[in-house]
Amino acid sequence: MKLPESAEECFYFTNRAIDEKGYAKAFVLKPDCPKCGKAKMGKPIAKGKVKIRAKEYVCPACNYTVSKEEFEPTLPMNVIYTCPFCEHRGETTTPYKRKRFKKVDAYVFECDSCHEQVPITKKLKDIKEK
Q: Please provide the DSSP assignment of 8-73 as one string.
A: GGEEEEEEEEETTTEEEEEEEEPPBPTTT-SSB-B--EETTEE-TT-SEEE-TTT--EEEHHHHGG
Counting beta carbons within 10 angstroms of the beta carbon of residue 6, is it exposed (0 to 12), middle (13 to 18) or buried (19 or more)? exposed
Average pLDDT over residues 102-115: 86
pLDDT tens for each residue of 26-69? 999 988 888 888 888 888 888 878 888 888 888 888 888 888 88
CA-based nearest residue to 79, from 100, 39, 106: 106
Summary mean pLDDT of the chain: 85
Give the C-alpha separation, 9 to 3, whole Å.
10
pLDDT, greater one: 57 or 125: 57
Please list, in sequence order, all residues whose beta carbon lies within 8 angstroms of the beta carbon of residue 65, skipping any fewer than 6 positions away: 56, 57, 58, 59
- Asked whether residue 130 carries a pLDDT value surpassing 60, the answer given is no
Rounded to two decimals, the pTM is: 0.79
- Asked whether residue 81 carries a pLDDT value surpassing 80, the answer given is yes
User: Would you kindly state where each structural domain of the chain is located, as residue ranges?
Assistant: 1-30+75-130, 32-74
Give the C-alpha separation, 12 to 85, whole Å.
25
Give the C-alpha separation, 42 to 10, whole Å.
9
Q: How many Cβ atoms from other residues are within 10 Å of residue 121's Cβ? A: 19
